[in-house]
Amino acid sequence: MDNNRFFFQHYGLTEHDLERYLAAALSAGGDYADLYFEYLSSTSLTVDESMVKSASQGISAGCGVRVVSGERTGYAYTDDLSANRILHAARTAALIASGPAKTPSAGFQQKQARSLYPVTLPSVDAEITAKVELVMRGDRAARAYDPRIKEVRASYADELRNILVVGSDGTFAEDSQPLARLNVSCIAKTEGTSARGSSGGGGRVALDFFFGEKTPEYFAKEAARQAILQLDAREAPAGEMEVVLGPGWPGVLLHEAVGHGLEADFNRKQTSAFAGLIGKRVASEKCTVVDNGTMPWRRGSLNVDDEGHPTQETVLIEKGILKGYLSDKLSARLMKTADTGNGRRESYEHIPMPRMTNTYMLSGQDNPEDIVKSVKNGIYAVNFGGGQVDITSGKFVFSASEAYLIENGKVTAPIKGATLIGNGPDVLTRVSMVGNDLKLDEGVGTCGKDGQAVPVGVGIPTLKVDRLTVGGTAKRDPGGFMQ
């Protein structure tokens, strides 16, 4: 990646300034200090009732200063990048430490960074008329799919985040991070029944991605298909049963069931149900789970994390055995483990913490058709809304938005959305079959932790979980579900 020196060019910053700010941050001591400069420009467009009803653009810029002393973190930020305001923020953050001033290491080292999203024209700078065309095409395609599609909302959003991270250990990292997403949601209506469908995707891609690889028509048809299908959905069963998860976005299971529980901060504090389980079996031997921030163009990928550390591929679970945690600088130092490049933050207003990037399970040996055939009575879930986890008790949920009954090895009727609930540390031990069809999601995931939202990716091959609780309402026994 070339040295674009965005903040040097646009704000007249110099290395001398950065050294001065870091010295102010360490003026009361501390182990480490860093500065995170961010300049975020964004666009969004929405089509509703076939009209572009909303269009907006915005700029948000600022600098966050962090001082770390032992396990303590002081943080302050400013949206004004003038020297006196940054120095004021640095001195405020410095209040966390109480000792003699320390001197930051002299000079910065910029590491050779990857270039995972080398767009020539960031979408945020592309012609707005092309973006209008995308949302209008999404609207038309969804309506054309079926006359029962009555309401369509198509939206497009993109951003370009320029960042500079410098640390008192000599860290110097710049990145220019594009992100774009197109989404179509619709409502199908018949006499007395309504249903919704939604589909979208994108990544750290240029605008041409939506004119070539994944068009508005692709997402529109998928959203419309789901809505029409749901018109005939019957009540979901309730209780424990076999569950087959389709490939791709159902990987949100991994994100909730194990991903959060393996973030190093929870384990350092021993507040995760996974604490102390390194080297222990937490999944069936068919399961290997990784977090990989280095996949080109992916929504969850980053050249460097928000602490300036290069991202990497980290094996979390290998053949069922827990191998490692996702770490940021603070946890790596306190736990004396490697920094895995997972220190992320929502913006300059936020303190970084360990977060996932793209989290997925590697393909196994099983044929997806055989997996479905092996189930006598269960459900086959292929699309999900979101999920949530209580990392301390380990209990997690995720909500199916498209699922079917499996009866005697065959996928039969579609069922209404139902929440699936399980226990993180043991759900993967019940994975008895793993398909050979790993797929990642389309690029729609946003993860929340401590009020901070960051883009992520998930993925799984087709999986069979021998026992999972399904939260349906079916009152009578459609095939042996209720006890």
Partner 1 sequence: MSSTQLENQPEQIETDLRNLAQEMVSRAMSGGASAAECVIAEGDEFSTLVRLGQVETLKESGSRSIGVRVFNGKRTASTYSSDFSREGLDRMLKSALELSRITSEDPFAGLPEPSQLGSLSGDLDLYHPDVYSLPGQERIAYARRTEKAAIDVDARIKNSDGGSFDAATGHKIFANSLGFRGEYRRSYCSIAAVPIAQDESGAMQRDYWFSVARSLAKLDSPENVGRIAAQRTLRRLGSRKVKTAQVPIIFDPLVAASILEHIFEGVNGDSVYRGASFLAGKLGEKIAADQITVIDDGTIPGGFGTSPFDGEGIPTRRTVVIENGVLKSYLLNTYTAKKLKLQTTGNASRGLAGTPGIGLGNYFLQPGMKTPAEVIGGVKEGLYVTEFLGHGANLVTGDYSRGASGMWISGGELAYPVEEITVAGNLKEIFFNISEIANDLEFRGPLACPTIRIDGLTVGGE
Which residues between 154 and 173 bind partner 1 (CB under 8 A)? none
The C-alpha atoms of residue 443 and residue 181 are separated, in whole angstroms, by 7
Tokens 């069936």 locate to 284
- Minimum distance from residue 6 beta carbon to partner 1 (Å): 15
Beta bridge partners of 397: 388, 421
**Residue 253 within binding range of partner 1, rule CB under 8 A:** no
Subset of 79-108 contacting partner 1 (CB under 8 A):
79-80, 82, 89, 92, 95-96
Residue number with CB closer to partner 1 (123 or 399): 399
* Tokens standing for residue 53: 């009803």
Residue number with CB closer to partner 1 (47 or 220): 47
- Minimum distance from residue 47 beta carbon to partner 1 (Å): 8
Q: Distances in Å between the alpha carbon of 379 and those of 4, 306, 405, 418?
A: 51, 40, 5, 11
**Residue 421 within binding range of partner 1, rule CB under 8 A:** yes
Residue number with CB closer to partner 1 (140 or 395): 395
Residue number with CB closer to partner 1 (208 or 235): 235
Residue number with CB closer to partner 1 (2 or 476): 476
Residue 295 C-beta-side C-alpha neighbours within 13 Å? 19
Which member of 30, 62, 122, 364 binds partner 1 (CB under 8 A)?
A: 62
Strand 149-167 relative to strand 171-190: parallel, antiparallel, unpaired?
antiparallel
**Residue 393 within binding range of partner 1, rule CB under 8 A:** yes
* Tokens standing for residue 470: 């399904």
* Tokens standing for residue 284: 């069936």
Residue number with CB closer to partner 1 (126 or 132): 132
Strand 171-190 relative to strand 109-110: parallel, antiparallel, unpaired?
parallel
Residue number with CB closer to partner 1 (265 or 441): 265
Which member of 20, 319, 323, 416 binds partner 1 (CB under 8 A)?
A: 416
3-class SS of residue 169: coil
- Minimum distance from residue 295 beta carbon to partner 1 (Å): 27
3-class SS of residue 336: coil
**Residue 150 within binding range of partner 1, rule CB under 8 A:** yes
- Minimum distance from residue 227 beta carbon to partner 1 (Å): 9
Residue 3, number of CB atoms within 10 A of its CB: 10
| Number of residues binding to partner 1, judged by CB under 8 A | 83
Residue number with CB closer to partner 1 (3 or 57): 57
Residue number with CB closer to partner 1 (96 or 302): 96
Subset of 173-232 contacting partner 1 (CB under 8 A):
187, 189, 193-196, 230
Q: Residue 40: which H helix or E strand, with range?
A: strand 32-48
**Residue 74 within binding range of partner 1, rule CB under 8 A:** yes
**Residue 351 within binding range of partner 1, rule CB under 8 A:** yes
**Residue 477 within binding range of partner 1, rule CB under 8 A:** no
Beta bridge partners of 239: 470
DSSP for 199-261?
EEEEES--GGGGTTTS-HHHHHHHHHHHHHHHHTPBPPPEEEEEEEEPSSGGGHHHIIIIIGG
Interface segment toward partner 1; rule CB under 8 A; list 20-28, 202-210, 300-308, 416-424: 416-424
Subset of 1-20 contacting partner 1 (CB under 8 A):
none
Task: Return the ∠ at Cα 367 (arms to 362 and 373), rounded to 5°.
Answer: 125
The C-alpha atoms of residue 67 and residue 73 are separated, in whole angstroms, by 6
- Minimum distance from residue 370 beta carbon to partner 1 (Å): 28
Subset of 225-244 contacting partner 1 (CB under 8 A):
230, 236, 238-240
- Minimum distance from residue 435 beta carbon to partner 1 (Å): 25
**Residue 452 within binding range of partner 1, rule CB under 8 A:** no
**Residue 51 within binding range of partner 1, rule CB under 8 A:** yes
Contact between residue 220 and residue 184 where contact means Cβ atoms under 8 Å apart: yes
* Tokens standing for residue 406: 């499996």
Closest CA to 326 of 315, 318, 336: 315
The C-alpha atoms of residue 119 and residue 253 are separated, in whole angstroms, by 31
* Tokens standing for residue 50: 């076939």
Residue number with CB closer to partner 1 (232 or 285): 232
Q: What are phi and psi of 135, to 5 degrees?
A: -70, -35
Interface segment toward partner 1; rule CB under 8 A; list 106-114, 150-158, 280-288, 360-368: 150-158
Interface segment toward partner 1; rule CB under 8 A; list 105-113, 147-155, 299-307, 315-323: 147-155
